[in-house]
Amino acid sequence: MLLCGVCGQTLSPEEAAAAGQRRHHPRPASPDLPPCCPLCGATGGPPRCEERRRHTDTAELGPPGSRCLPAPERLPECPFCEEAAGRELEAHLWARHGHVLGDLGPGGNMRDLELAQQLQTEEDERQKSEEEKQEREEFKKLQRQYGLDNSGGYKQQFLKNMEREVNRGRMQPFDYHKRKADMMESLAFGVDDGKTKTSGIIEALCKYYQNENKDVRRVWLSAGVDHFHSSLGDRGWGCGYRNFQMLLSSLLQNSLYNDCLRGRRGSREEAETGHLTQTSRRDTAAIPSIPKIQSMIEDAWREGFDPHGASHFNNRLHGSKAWIGACEIYSLLTSLRIKCQIIDFHKPTGPTGTHPRLFEWVLHYYSADNGSGAKVVCASKPPIYLQHEGHSRTIVGIEEKKNKTLCLLLFDPGCPSQEMQKLLEKNSDGTSLRLLRKYLGSLKEKQYQIVAVDGVLTLEEKAVSISENSFCLRKFKRICISSLMCVYGFMVIFF
């Protein structure tokens, strides 16, 4: 019996001859003897026989004594048909299997790059187009929000809202035509029709606090002021104009400011007509309508006040629903020779985003010239215009509680006359005061500005203020306030 010198298995003579085993190397079947190389006879197993490795790695074994040639290098095969193609593999692939690879053909790498660049360019253009579209939509949204979308002004909104009320059955056609006629007359004369006005609230509050002894230690109230609320024509955007009407209603009740305002109106008419008409004498205390206020602000811009703000509105307010803020109120008052200042509370000065410095400033404003220890102080100072992002109100007083906490009293243009008139009731229990009271935790906007009136300007002072304060207004609108300029969390912009 013969054993294979490579694997040690038993082989028949025929198998040994077919495998090319040498006949003079047969070995007895003994498990104790190590296998030897069938070609050179070296013992010790395959790991020590380099000659055996060389021969066993050869595809075919030659006859005994023949020299073994190295195996030929394996040619690369086609991945589709597994045929050896060698150096002609690429040509073989396109010739035999081009229909599988598609229509790229030779030079496809360059076409792939061009296609990728084209796709990227199209994607960039699409993304840019979407961004531009989104920017246009956001810009139009802001225009609508701030009344700069050329959709009409007070008159158009008033008529549109009345038509809607008629269609919903909330207004009779007769009332529609009557109110339309009243509105057109009001616009023609430039005077507010007074339908949203509530008078006598400050006087009623003064009487109420005289008898109220629960938790209020002292209270300071502004000079008399009328409340104006938004109407069908300015709902959603007219708060700044309504607050100006409130402030103006108080100024016209004070002889110092009334004389100044009357003198300005009279001098303008006398310059134009040579005399002061009876109509002007009667209307010196009239409150201008919202379109009239818009025209008055445009007049202030033409005089040179706040050119930066004027450019923001494209020098046009009349006939629009544009919002106005502290800067426009300041410009208008200064053009009327009313001396005022803007105080910017540009950051919270208390815990949880509160503004205690704002409350302290208001207390000092009303109490500075009233050293008496009276519980109720009806000051002669006008109310204060209060502005924050998206809304404005009027400060008409401040309470000091027995626990030393402060509470502002605010007139809100968003509060309708029906609610404000509850404050005029003789037997009021004070529950309606919740409409006015704003505690420290109620004012948590990031930033507040107030416009406070502080006397009148001479013609010379007004001329100087045109150039000086227009520059300050431009700085104020940027709201880039250095910490070195800030004192106790607020900043006095103008005096």
Active site residues: 239, 391, 412
Q: Which residue has the tokens 């225009």?
A: 143
**Token output for 485:** 């300029």
Which residue type is seen at 433? L
| Residue (of 60, 50, 53) closest to 19 by Cα position | 60
Count of all residues that appear for the chain in the document: 495
Residue 6's φ and ψ, nearest 5 degrees, are -95, -55
**Token output for 299:** 């007049």
d(CA 312, CA 304): 14
| Residue (of 36, 39, 46, 6) closest to 22 by Cα position | 39
Beta-carbon contacts of 332 under 8 Å, excluding residues fewer than 6 positions away, are: 244, 293, 296, 297, 300
d(CA 157, CA 321): 9
CA dihedral for 421, 427, 432, 434, sign (positive or negative):
positive
d(CA 469, CA 449): 16
- Distance in angstroms between the alpha carbons of the first and the last residue of the chain: 125
Q: Which residue has the tokens 């110092």?
A: 256
d(CA 39, CA 108): 53
Q: Which residue has the tokens 């037997």?
A: 427
DSSP 483: G
